[in-house]
Structure 1
Amino acid sequence: MSDERDRVTETRTTEPADTPPAQPTHTTVIERRGGGGGMLIGLAVLIVVLVGAYFLFNQSRNDNLQTEAVTTAADKVGDAAKQVGDSAEQAAESVTNQ
């Protein structure tokens, strides 16, 4: 799918027959256009960068959710330990009060 085009322009100037032949003027212009390969590669790199950024931001969000879950679990364990301690204290008081 190459869109490479060549254009050649030639110009010749000649003198009338009664004058000595002069060196003809010759101009050649070649224009080249590149294909769309560079644009395609640039688009692919942009997509890779966007996908990488998406996963990076989701990783950070997941880390925050995990940290919050661990903190909540630690709070629950702390509350359970306090309840066990309170129950043990009440049991000790009931044994000593008998």
Structure 2
Amino acid sequence: MASLQKITFVFWHDADGKRVKAGTPGAKKHIEESSKWYACWRDGKRQRRVPLCTDKEAAQAMMTDLMRTKDRAKAGLLNPRQVHEDRNLIEHLEEFVTSQ
């Protein structure tokens, strides 16, 4: 069962504001939450996390789509690579260049 989560990051800063290792004398702990929502689920023994988007409702829809595609591929109803096989390499590269 997948769930939506925001991931927290923990890091330490010294008095000058530089990042340092935990346990450094005078260092202060900072906890920061990710701006994106993540789809999280277990795949066997592995924990999977996929970044989605910043809007929770949109992330929920994206996660539902992701899980539906994953389950259909597992059931053999869909080739997992079918989504990308019907496009040629030039289309993929043009999409990549425009996204940068």
Structure whose residues are more often helix by fraction: 1
TM-score range, shorter chain: under 0.3
Larger Rg, first or second structure (1 or 2): 1
TM-score, normalised to structure 2, is 0.23
TM norm structure 1: 0.23
Q: Which has the higher strand share?
A: 2
